[in-house]
Structure 1
Amino acid sequence: MNYIIFGGSGFIGTHLIHLLKNECVKDNDKIYDLDIVLPGEEGVVPGVVEKNEGVEYIRLDVRKPFDFDFIPTNDDVIFNLAAVHRTPGHPDEAYFETNIRGAENVCAFAEKYNIRKILFTSSIAPYGAGEEKKDENSLPMPNTPYGISKLVAEKIHEVWQAKDKSRELTIVRPGIVYGKGEHGNMTRLYWSQKKRYFFYTGRKDTIKSSIYVKDLVHFFKYRMIDNDFAGVDIFNCTYEPAFTIQETCETMQKATGMHHNVPLVPAGLLMFVAKIIGPLGGKKVGIHPDRVKKLMVSTNTCGKKLAASGFKFHYSFEESFRDWFRDCNEEGLR
């Protein structure tokens, strides 16, 4: 059996490879990490410099047609994690080129080798911004290049599955994914509290759907390896119910032994400061107009379908932060 991971050198892929090696791989199985960057290079998970023994690393750009040597089996599974995702941070065309061309080329590869199982990591971005709760049946209304490109990529994978009803396609729409090596929203949230420059932006009840990376990759395993199904299904991968920014801050502090009061600052004042600091390098500390706007808008996705799927979470919300803290030798969240 082959575990073929496109974008496997990134944050989620690194955790997925670790799980597969520890719980899934048998004597004749192989893991392929196919990525434009490889462990130890700029652009991959910071701190991950060693390649895993037993994993074949192949430099590959999903934006272009590709192929590589391997011996296919009837049980092969593709995890398509390859994406340009950080927003803001890239020119608009970068999202479309990688996320859409990549989906086309991955599906063409699966078609060529008659691989029947694909898990595609999409995002909650196709729902668009808004306070109302979104479930898997909500009408997608993406309002960013990233969200639009991810929705188109979903449809490309669905077309692949529709050509053969026996094919298995799972589309996951994760909220904020956090854990060791994330170096994104949750990491910035921790350090901005630790260094006392985080403020609630106009409100404390902004909902931010999220999931711990170890629970996310365990769901990948549960769905694609532990179970067989035919057809296509979409899952919001978030804790249910989703937590507010205040609940997230308080839980993070409790789990890491931090005791800081987080002040509430009027949204208008913080936006004014962000517009001044942003052009001077505010992105590095999260004080940028686009990121301030994101803090003020909920990403409220419903995780009831995931909770009812039979999958059992390995961590509660607080336990996930404790586990992440332990993974970092209790020296902070990184």
Structure 2
Amino acid sequence: MNFIIIGGTGFIGTHLTILIKQQYSDAHVYNLDIVRPDIPLPAVKVSPLKGGQVLRSVFVECDVRKSIEHLPFTPTSEDVIFNFAAVHRTPGHPDQAYFETNIRGAENVCAFAEKFGIKKIVFTSSIAPYGAAEDLKTEETLPTPNTPYGISKLVAEKIHTIWQAKKPNERQLTIVRPGVVFGKGENGNFTRLYWGIRGGKFFYPGRKDTIKACIYVKELVRFMLYRLENHSEGVELYNCTFEPAFTIEQIVETMKKVTGLQRTIVKVPGSILMTVANIVGPLGGKALGICPARVKKLMISTN
């Protein structure tokens, strides 16, 4: 059996590869990605790998926006696909980029599975299809996405579901909807928050009780591998976040405690921060996470 990780160079894919090789030392892991693991992206300041550690997978250059073919190995029906490939940073990309990669990528991954008779797919979606709102979301909540990213992820879920429905008694599909995923090598929301606190550039935008659902990356990959091993045919859908979800104040205070930061974080009216973001954003603030869209994200719960 081969473990085929689409988008395996990324944050979650790297942690999953490490876990697979720990639990199945003889497993063949193939990383199909557009980015080589030995060429870090400019935005990646910290690698998920330890110093000197090498990602123990076979890299295969692959752009999911195109048909997946010409592989250096022969897939079998016993293989497993983990589909992590996505354009996800929001804001940060033109609207078309989310649809082109996330939807077309889902189509090509499912076509690849169909071609080789692969029966098991684990697809990483997001809580973004629920839309931002204060009320608690469960797997039964009707998705109402309000961003191109959330819309594209919901459509991608449906594409995978259609693939499974073609042979419902044979195919196994696990869809996970994680909140903000944090951990070593994340280089995203939590990393920006930490550096904002440390640099004195973070303020509570109008409130301290905004709920931000999140999960530790090692907990997420353990759960995905566990469900893969304990799931027969059919479709399983899971929200993957800590319960109860943490408020932004709890997250900030925890970061301060474990890193020894002594800064006092003040609450600033949201209207003032939005005004500043509108001025600073076009002048280079986006690189620091200071822009209207990011301020709005901090003011609305994802529960």
Is the Cα–Cα contact under 8 Å of residues 200 and 265 in structure 1 kept in the other structure?
A: yes
Aligned mate of 1:37, from 11, 35, 38: 35
User: C-alpha separation between the residues in 1 aligned to 2:238 and 2:14?
Assistant: 21
What does residue range 180-219 of structure 1 map to in structure 2 within 5 Å? Answer: 180-219=184-223
Question: What is the total number of aligned residue pairs between the two structures?
Answer: 297
User: C-alpha separation between the residues in 2 aligned to 1:47 and 1:211?
Assistant: 19
Classify the secondary structure of the residue corresponding to 1:3.
strand
2:21 aligns with: 21
Question: Where does the alignment leave 5 or more consecutive residues of structure 1 unmatched?
Answer: 301-334
Paired amino acid for 1:56: V
Question: Where does the alignment leave 5 or more consecutive residues of structure 2 unmatched?
Answer: none
User: C-alpha separation between the residues in 2 aligned to 1:146 and 1:104?
Assistant: 16
Is the Cα–Cα contact under 8 Å of residues 39 and 51 in structure 1 kept in the other structure?
A: no
Is the Cα–Cα contact under 8 Å of residues 192 and 289 in structure 2 kept in the other structure?
A: yes
Aligned mate of 1:82, from 78, 85, 88: 85
User: C-alpha separation between the residues in 1 aligned to 2:90 and 2:54?
Assistant: 30
User: C-alpha separation between the residues in 1 aligned to 2:135 and 2:129?
Assistant: 14
2:302 aligns with: 299
User: C-alpha separation between the residues in 1 aligned to 2:77 and 2:88?
Assistant: 32
How many Å apart are 1:47 and its aligned residue? 4.8
How many Å apart are 1:42 and its aligned residue? 4.6
2:60 aligns with: 58
What does residue range 103-252 of structure 1 map to in structure 2 within 5 Å? Answer: 103-165=106-168, 166-224=170-228, 226-252=229-255
Is the Cα–Cα contact under 8 Å of residues 125 and 147 in structure 1 kept in the other structure?
A: yes
**TM-score scaled to structure 1, two decimals?**
0.85
1:38-62 deviation per Cα after TM superposition (whole angstroms, max 9, x unaligned) = 1132538445497836521011100
Paired amino acid for 1:209: A
Classify the secondary structure of the residue corresponding to 1:131.
coil
Aligned mate of 1:258, from 258, 261, 265: 261
1:48-102 deviation per Cα after TM superposition (whole angstroms, max 9, x unaligned) = 4978365210111000112113233443110000000001111111100000000
Aligned in 2, Cα 1:111/1:192: closer, same or farther, shift over 3 Å? same
1:304-324 deviation per Cα after TM superposition (whole angstroms, max 9, x unaligned) = xxxxxxxxxxxxxxxxxxxxx
1:93-124 deviation per Cα after TM superposition (whole angstroms, max 9, x unaligned) = 11000000000000011011111110001011
Is the Cα–Cα contact under 8 Å of residues 14 and 55 in structure 2 kept in the other structure?
A: no
How many Å apart are 1:19 and its aligned residue? 1.1
Aligned in 2, Cα 1:74/1:110: closer, same or farther, shift over 3 Å? closer
How many Å apart are 1:193 and its aligned residue? 1.0
Classify the secondary structure of the residue corresponding to 1:139.
coil
Paired amino acid for 1:117: K
1:279 aligns with: 282
User: C-alpha separation between the residues in 2 aligned to 1:18 and 1:194?
Assistant: 30
How many Å apart are 1:220 and its aligned residue? 1.4
Q: Does 1:269 align with 2:267?
A: no
Task: Report % sequence identity.
Answer: 62
Aligned in 2, Cα 1:221/1:292: closer, same or farther, shift over 3 Å? same
User: C-alpha separation between the residues in 2 aligned to 1:261 and 1:54?
Assistant: 43
1:249-295 deviation per Cα after TM superposition (whole angstroms, max 9, x unaligned) = 11121222222211010111111100000001111221110000000
User: C-alpha separation between the residues in 2 aligned to 1:46 and 1:220?
Assistant: 26
2:7 aligns with: 7
Paired amino acid for 2:183: G
1:155-176 deviation per Cα after TM superposition (whole angstroms, max 9, x unaligned) = 0000000011121101111100
Aligned in 2, Cα 1:252/1:51: closer, same or farther, shift over 3 Å? closer
Stretches (4+) displaced over 6 A:
none
Aligned in 2, Cα 1:128/1:54: closer, same or farther, shift over 3 Å? closer
**TM-score scaled to structure 2, two decimals?**
0.94
Classify the secondary structure of the residue corresponding to 2:136.
strand
User: C-alpha separation between the residues in 1 aligned to 2:103 and 2:87?
Assistant: 10
Over the aligned positions, Cα root-mean-square deviation in angstroms equals 1.6
Is the Cα–Cα contact under 8 Å of residues 30 and 54 in structure 1 kept in the other structure?
A: no
